[in-house]
Structure 1
């Protein structure tokens, strides 16, 4: 079956919102101009307010011109794309919206002479998920298990109880294999490459265990503040907003065992399996292994930045963390005893998403300047690259060592520009490939990991630390490294900086 020739009806609830403007419509447009969309398709952007004729297309064109990786839209290509793009006024909460929507979809099926794929994208506030899902089920709009899919954005619940309740609701109305819980991090090119890198290269997999690896660090740091998201962020915080989803997804990809096959269920089974082995937190380990903090006023990228409590729509008494770092362990045969360090924060000194695998030191120290362990650095952003740090001899008459890099860069290795994460994920959803989407039990397992931390914070907010905007985070985060031998690691250039200076005065 040629999936590209399968017609598709695409419905975006919240089709006039910021996500549709910045990400969804630019993604569909890029898929269209690069010939990945089916010949017959229609996109319906559902929004409760009416708009003047042509206003929707004009607004979406602005978004494409600003955010599309392909640059400004060409007039003829945009015209052909908008022949498939429709604004659909409708209130999510009333039956008439779904009656009219069903008529549209069935009319397309009749015109195309086949039952089209139906993709429903929930680009809405979480409180609308139940209402929309109930109406879709009531009117039998997504009643074809093989062809109908629901794509649901995070946050998926606000805690374990709400995530379970939402899963129960959706699984009561639809089949689990129709539900696509999206995390855009899983669509990023380097993140997808982790599985290929680990399991297609036998040179690394035999070393990927506690016998050879000393520690693993996962960092997602941002220079941006909460900005206009203060009202949302103050109810969420870094642990919910980043750790529970993005960072635990990265952890599962780095730590999981090899799946039996490259298919959705095999991969998702291994991801859940390893998350279930994360050692549970308790009051003592939260106090010892978790650091939370808020940014105070400072300077970021040369510009003054107010403190978190001075941001718009943030409570002046807020106990919401803008930074969190933690140490955890995975209690299975592969990873027993290996610490995993996770950190994320806003208003920090660098914008970067990185995974650093530090290998154990060489057992035989025959060189006096063999002091830097091997490190594998997977850089997701801002630069897409994978680097291996190793020791090598400096040219000259003496045996002197210095750290060197073996480096793979997407920019240098590939001429074609990598697709945006949403392009990859939307195309997968259209094709019914759930590999890069999150299963119900994985959502609940991730919530189960962070819930003891959240519960402890509710009981005691006195452990909130501070860090200056534009800094590398709170000094207390260094205490997670109990042996004092290591620190938070970052880009390869910075890892190399200190060792290079050590050899600066060589002959």
Structure 2
């Protein structure tokens, strides 16, 4: 039975994610009347604060990170907030936390935004203090391990206290409007689904490019690298949504069943189908920035860029390559999916001026959310020398198409789903472990071939070898 929680317990309530995303998201939900007036929010972290101090902390975060026009009823929101200091490794502190949480009338939702090393002691403390009962659900922020073995250990620890139907593993990309729109685009439009297969699609590109460097994630990132930080979760989830079979219905079980099938169909990738890179000094938007090792302050073999040619060994996608590319300090910030269709089998239009270009579908996720379908069209004119053709983009800018609709950050939807108990946009254990199994295979190939990161200048699109990875198949990256 699905129940809406009337208590929300936030671990890591003074951290960067809480300040930038979680507190503003909850405030926005409150301002629009989307959460029950009875919902009480309890924050916990190591910092010593009382309720009043935490409310002032939250107010400062909202003033810094949330637009003023979305901060209505701020006093009402702040009065929902309470705080209990806790060292997650100290089992003796959980009794006071349980007392602060009190007895929920409907249920308790817990959100863990902590280091994975704290998951196990936290779960144990919650168990000992009675905060894991049948009306309690838990949300887990990534990373969920560093390989398949550690991921299983975390999942086992959580499963000791919570059944799968009360575990909400978060990948914030799944809360983005355009990512969800992939499902609507494919399964609500007869135009696309009949041609969404190897017969008509030549290849798919998925790019997640960042212009930033290490920022505040120095130790974590140098341990993880681009493969584990971005490909293992965000990019494989995007791939699964692009490639999945139609689910029987739009619910958590049906959608996630189809995603798992995709992830299990991923072919083991060889070292020569991947490229590792690490940025050196360069320029971003006209500003000179240091290289990775200069930012880090020591030498490192961690990759800040990775490109992969992936294959799905199933009926729908046999022979269709999926090109994945992600990195830091790249030319521009963009997350997009390009679906490249095959050429028409025969052109009835002769001459160079009537040469056709294969159709493509570009799905922009950030910074702009848009959909562009490139079609061939006739150039206006009398055409006495023969018909002239030209590619014409049909653009759908989501902000223009839905003028007046409030654009939301991903965590608004994900926190509301956690509170209400809807698992559709959360990742199931078998998904996580299928993703890690494939990633571990790539890392094993790198170690076996001693594949070191290739240098690339900050502000570029990565190592030249990444261009060659696609071009040897006659493919150019969309830029």
TM category (shorter chain) comes to: over 0.9
In terms of mean alpha carbon deviation, does 65-74 or 481-490 score higher? 65-74
SS at match of 2:231: helix
Residue 463 of structure 1 and its aligned partner are, at CA, apart by 3.6
Q: Which runs of 5+ in 1 are unaligned?
A: 491-507
Measure, in 1, the Cα distance between the counterparts of 2:216 and 2:79: 34
CA contact (8 A) 1:65 1:71 kept: no
Deviation string, structure 1 residues 13-70 (Cα, Å, up to 9, x no partner): 1111111111100000000001001110111110223137743222222221232256
Q: Which runs of 5+ in 2 are unaligned?
A: none
| 1:141 maps to which of 126, 131, 136 | 131
Measure, in 1, the Cα distance between the counterparts of 2:469 and 2:37: 55
Deviation string, structure 1 residues 216-245 (Cα, Å, up to 9, x no partner): 000000111112322111101000000000
Measure, in 2, the Cα distance between the counterparts of 1:242 and 1:39: 37
| 1:435 maps to which of 403, 424, 428 | 424
Measure, in 2, the Cα distance between the counterparts of 1:259 and 1:267: 6
Measure, in 2, the Cα distance between the counterparts of 1:51 and 1:361: 63
Match of 1:249 in 2: 237
SS at match of 1:228: coil
Residue correspondence of structure 1 range 285-434 to structure 2 within 5 A: 285-286=270-271, 288-312=272-296, 314-316=297-299, 318-367=300-349, 368=352, 369-398=354-383, 399-414=387-402, 415-434=404-423
Calculate the TM-score normalised by the size of structure 2: 0.95
Relative to 1, partners in 2 of residues 1:173 and 1:474: Cα closer, same or farther, differing over 3 Å?
same
Match of 1:192 in 2: 180
Match of 1:274 in 2: 262
Match of 2:223 in 1: 235
Match of 2:204 in 1: 216
Matched, 1:27 2:8: no
Measure, in 1, the Cα distance between the counterparts of 2:309 and 2:68: 40
Relative to 1, partners in 2 of residues 1:275 and 1:53: Cα closer, same or farther, differing over 3 Å?
closer
Residue 480 of structure 1 and its aligned partner are, at CA, apart by 1.6
Residue 349 of structure 1 and its aligned partner are, at CA, apart by 0.6
SS at match of 1:173: coil
SS at match of 1:390: strand
CA contact (8 A) 2:356 2:389 kept: no
Residue correspondence of structure 1 range 121-160 to structure 2 within 5 A: 121-144=111-134, 147-160=135-148
Measure, in 2, the Cα distance between the counterparts of 1:346 and 1:481: 20
Provide the aligned length of Structure 1 versus Structure 2. Answer: 472
CA contact (8 A) 1:26 1:68 kept: yes
SS at match of 1:236: helix
Measure, in 2, the Cα distance between the counterparts of 1:280 and 1:7: 42
Match of 1:56 in 2: 54
Matched, 1:43 2:41: yes
SS at match of 1:226: coil
SS at match of 2:20: helix
CA contact (8 A) 1:99 1:139 kept: yes
Measure, in 2, the Cα distance between the counterparts of 1:330 and 1:53: 52
Match of 1:476 in 2: 465
Match of 2:246 in 1: 258
Residue 410 of structure 1 and its aligned partner are, at CA, apart by 1.1
Deviation string, structure 1 residues 190-236 (Cα, Å, up to 9, x no partner): 00111111011111000000000000000000111112322111101
SS at match of 1:478: helix
CA contact (8 A) 2:262 2:312 kept: yes
In terms of mean alpha carbon deviation, does 162-171 or 379-388 score higher? 162-171
Relative to 1, partners in 2 of residues 1:97 and 1:418: Cα closer, same or farther, differing over 3 Å?
same
Measure, in 2, the Cα distance between the counterparts of 1:452 and 1:215: 23
Measure, in 2, the Cα distance between the counterparts of 1:211 and 1:458: 36
Relative to 1, partners in 2 of residues 1:484 and 1:453: Cα closer, same or farther, differing over 3 Å?
closer
Match of 2:16 in 1: 18
Deviation string, structure 1 residues 128-167 (Cα, Å, up to 9, x no partner): 00010111122221211xx311111111000011011111
SS at match of 1:22: helix
Measure, in 2, the Cα distance between the counterparts of 1:129 and 1:218: 31
CA contact (8 A) 2:23 2:62 kept: yes
Matched, 1:98 2:94: yes
CA contact (8 A) 1:66 1:72 kept: no
SS at match of 2:102: helix
Residue 325 of structure 1 and its aligned partner are, at CA, apart by 0.3
Matched, 1:447 2:412: no
Deviation string, structure 1 residues 442-501 (Cα, Å, up to 9, x no partner): 0000011111211233344444211100011111112222545321013xxxxxxxxxxx
CA contact (8 A) 1:7 1:39 kept: no
CA contact (8 A) 1:319 1:461 kept: no
Measure, in 1, the Cα distance between the counterparts of 2:451 and 2:307: 17
Deviation string, structure 1 residues 287-312 (Cα, Å, up to 9, x no partner): x2100000000000111110001013
